[in-house]
Amino acid sequence: MSRTVELGRAVLCSPDIQHELWLTTLITISPQQNTLIDLQGLRQSVLVELLLSGNAWVGRGCGMHLLLELTLEREPIARPELAVVAENVINAPAWDQLNFPLSLPHDGANDSTSAVDYGKLRINVGHAREANTPAQSHLRMSRIVTAANATPPEGVPGLALESVRFIMDIVRTRSSVLGGGTTGNRTKRTKQPSCNSTQTEVSTPLLEHDDAVVLFDELCGPSETPQIPCSPRRKRKHSTSSNVTTKPMPTFADSSPSTDSHTQPEGYLSGNVDMLTKFVDSTIRLSVCSSLARSATGMKVKTKTFSGCLADVAPCLWRPGFLTALSQRAQFLPTIGRSLVRTVGSRPLSRTMQEKYQRLNDGSTNGGPSSLMQSLRPDDAIDSHLWIHLQKSLVSKISIGSFGAFCQSRARLPPDASFDDMLDDTQAENERRPPESSGQADIRVKAIIGKEEGLHSHQSPGPNGDDDLFTEKLLGEESHFEIDYGDGEEDDDILLCPIIVCKEVLKSA
């Protein structure tokens, strides 16, 4: 049976945004065929340790998909905004680096599992496409190997990654709720009971949460200092709203509290889809790479509890080039295993070698729970040890690399006013130019016709030297232009050069 495991949590923020992103990443795994592992009987800490240790093989599951749950202060985001985010995720360049073809499931009229649900987004991950291998390889071993070389031997626990779930909740920071001003001014306001009673009349969406209520109670709790009566000029009905709007900040569009705090107005985030795109890109990047060091979104990790990332759990899926490097080396493991079997059967020369041979004969993998492994023959045990050693060594050697954007909006260049100025200048210059008389126009037309008649009157061209001389006089210095045909034929490029065109016309005349 499949089991869902929490990979980690994090809080993301940005210095120019008055909002935070609370992230929880979950993965769903299931045992592959012929794998004797009871996932339900393992503790979550033991299972996560097994996934991150490299003692198990985590491949692609049947129907692998990504599930994004986006909420704004625990309220689902509307479908139009999610549809734009879905297109930005599918068209992102990072998925081409991972060789993941993404697609949205069919959204039928009566389909309950639609691609874009209210607050939820499902994206299917297709099978990896064949990478474009170079024509000439500097390696002696072939880059194209069979699929059997990328299959773990008997004895290695095989798991399948079914889905990756990202739970994202966007909340406003405490500074945006309390408004601008110094800490001392805010403390003095909280010590006035009459003002506190008026502040509770106007609520914000963040104050609907339990953590915000606790924060509000801590700030507005009883104080040991004597209470000072509030002056009449400070008794304002909209004190909280004035604090919120004291300092303009780049918040989401129409973020003022509505009459019903449990419903999002239509177009709530219509003007800030780019902000959602940055949040989604940072979320996926942190879950894949466990870092935002190379991110161009400007997001920072405020705190996180990630013990590992997707590139550590399933390196064959989330590390570019890992599967190719593994398959190239795995084809030599059977030969190495047979050699080690004969060596293990011989008498060791030292006590150290005897201990190493004993570990090779052991049926359990190093570092993994022995209860998860079935008893194996010495041949299978050595093959499993070699496979796990190869997988761990490649994980340490092959870095995650620099990914592109995991969610990228389509950039639209703003209209340039300089082009309009150029058109206006050209039109003004044409208007200032004096009109051409009919006589001048007739003379210019006759000159053009005369040149054409002179070209066609050359009925009997001389030798090639005279032909080249005439072409040189006609075209000037352009006749010395050299043409590089490359690997193609001259006939294919005959229409690409005006000199060749003129020569062919003269020869056929």
| Across 432-444, average pLDDT | 62
Q: Using CB atoms within 10 A of its CB, is residue 341 exposed (0-12), middle (13-18) or buried (19+)?
A: middle
3-state DSSP call for residue 297? Answer: coil
Q: Is the pLDDT of residue 112 over 60?
A: no
Any idea of the CA torsion for 423, 425, 426, 427, to the nearest 10 degrees? 80
Query: What does the pLDDT read at residue 129?
Result: 64
- How many CB atoms lie under 10 A from the CB of residue 414? 5
Question: Which tens digits make up the pLDDT trace of 52-80?
Answer: 999 999 999 989 999 999 998 888 888 88
Query: What does the pLDDT read at residue 418?
Result: 54
Percent of the chain exceeding pLDDT 90 equals 21
List the single range of 15-29, 230-244, 286-300 with lowest mean pLDDT. 230-244
List the single range of 88-102, 138-152, 176-190 with lowest mean pLDDT. 176-190
Rounded distance between C-alpha atoms, residue 25 and residue 283, angstroms: 9
pLDDT band at 434; cut points 50, 70, 90: low
Question: Which tens digits make up the pLDDT trace of 475-488?
Answer: 454 444 444 444 44
Q: Which helix (H) or strand (E) holds 382?
A: helix 378-397
- The whole-model pTM stands at 0.61
Question: Which tens digits make up the pLDDT trace of 189-205?
Answer: 444 444 444 443 434 44
- Which structure tokens are listed for 185? 């001014």
Rounded distance between C-alpha atoms, residue 456 and residue 463, angstroms: 17
Rounded distance between C-alpha atoms, residue 78 and residue 85, angstroms: 11
- How many CB atoms lie under 10 A from the CB of residue 29? 23
The dihedrals phi and psi of 210, each to the nearest 5 degrees, come to -70, -40
The dihedrals phi and psi of 352, each to the nearest 5 degrees, come to -65, -45
Query: What does the pLDDT read at residue 185?
Result: 46
- How many CB atoms lie under 10 A from the CB of residue 351? 8
Q: Is the pLDDT of residue 13 over 80?
A: yes
Q: Is the pLDDT of residue 301 over 50?
A: yes
Q: 110 or 306: which carries more pLDDT confidence? A: 306
| Across 14-43, average pLDDT | 87
Question: Which tens digits make up the pLDDT trace of 354-409?
Answer: 777 777 766 554 444 444 444 556 667 888 888 899 999 998 888 887 888 999 87
DSSP 96-136: HHTT--EEPPP--TT-SS-SEETTEEEEEE-PPPPP---SS
Q: Is the pLDDT of residue 426 over 90?
A: no
The dihedrals phi and psi of 83, each to the nearest 5 degrees, come to -65, -40
Rounded distance between C-alpha atoms, residue 235 and residue 219, angstroms: 19
Q: Is the pLDDT of residue 6 over 90?
A: yes
SS3 track for 306-375: CCCCHHHHCHHHHCCCHHHHHHHHHCCHHHHHHHHHHHHHCCCCCHHHHHHHHHHHCCCCCCCCHHHCCC
Query: What does the pLDDT read at residue 253?
Result: 40
Question: Which tens digits make up the pLDDT trace of 260-287?
Answer: 434 444 444 444 788 889 899 999 999 9
pLDDT band at 183; cut points 50, 70, 90: very low
Amino acid identity of 316? Answer: C
| Across 4-10, average pLDDT | 94
